[in-house]
Amino acid sequence: MAVNIFYFFIFPGLLFMAVAGGLLSWFDRKITARVQFRQGPPLLQPFYDFFKLLLVKETILPRHGSPVVFMLAPLLAVFGATMAGLFILLPLFNISTGFRGDLLVIFYLLTLPSFSYILGSVASGNPLAAVGSSREIKLVISYELTFLLIIAAVIMKSGQHFDLDTVIAMQRSGTPFIGSVSGVLLFIAAVFCIQAKLGLVPFDMPEAETELSSGIYIEYSGPPYAMIKLAKYIMLFILPALVVALLMNGMGQGAGILWAVLKILGVVLLLTLIRNTSPRVKIRQASGFFFIWMNLIVVIAIVLIAFGL
């Protein structure tokens, strides 16, 4: 029991993920700044942001709406992200082997943050938040099918193994999945899914600063907003980690750890470059993009897998 509490709160749980996510968030912001001819923030800026919100800023509750749901939603987001992160990182770090079927549990847990943002924004009673949450709902419906298909394709490729540990072990004994045509297609779809899950441009329409002035997060301030930031840091770490585990043969020992860090940084760099070289699309365009194009390439990948490519 004690060891489980340690796993959840310290390593590889909340604390570790928050620190790693915060550092990745700095990396993302620094790269963004350099692309835009700016200097960029200091290394600890994401943590300054977090602690300022947590300790200094006051919480303002919306007068209309449900304060309980509004306050609990960010905690639910952090909880969902941390749990999903645990099931991803425990097998990735070779701490435990997980259990049969944990890939599906990860899939469900990863939807919790988006789900709680929707709950929280609807509970705030703000019209801009309502538009934002309706966009978030549409966005979730669009990308989740693609995301599920990607996981299904990985399960097929691993020979019907439903647990992350075996998927990683198979790649380590053979070749990484990304080393095949189907793997590359899955990687492309996965990167766009992550982009949407993280709410980065071009899929940031639920918050759309210049349209809805932060949309779903508009009423959040102080500690609840700090929790949302925390959930975002964690997601920024665990989603690239999941891709590394699913497609890029996870993490080895010794120098392999450095190699895994580089792989995660590479995925984050890709996300950052995408978000800095495109404008925000409309929700209808995003739905079309996932429903038609992303699903298509994942289905092609599945067909290729059936032929052993």
Which residues make up the interface to another protein (CB under 8 A)? 32, 35-38, 127-128, 130-131, 134-135, 201-202, 204-205, 208-213, 276-285
Residue 51 carries which side chain, given as an amino acid letter?
F
* Alpha-helical regions (H) of the chain: 2-9, 14-35, 45-51, 67-92, 102-124, 127-157, 164-173, 181-198, 209-212, 222-247, 255-276, 283-288, 295-306
Whole-Å CA distances, 160 to 96, 103, 166: 20, 12, 10
Q: How far is the CB of 95 from another protein (least distance, A)?
A: 39
Decide whether 94 or 287 has the Cβ nearer to another protein. Answer: 287
Decide whether 57 or 284 has the Cβ nearer to another protein. Answer: 284
Distance CA 131, CA 135 (A): 6
Q: How far is the CB of 275 from another protein (least distance, A)?
A: 9
Q: How far is the CB of 136 from another protein (least distance, A)?
A: 13
Decide whether 131 or 189 has the Cβ nearer to another protein. Answer: 131
Residue 102 contacts residue 213 (beta carbons within 8 Å): no
Q: How far is the CB of 204 from another protein (least distance, A)?
A: 6
Decide whether 15 or 273 has the Cβ nearer to another protein. Answer: 273
Decide whether 138 or 161 has the Cβ nearer to another protein. Answer: 138
Closest Cα partner for 27 from 252, 279, 237, 195? 237
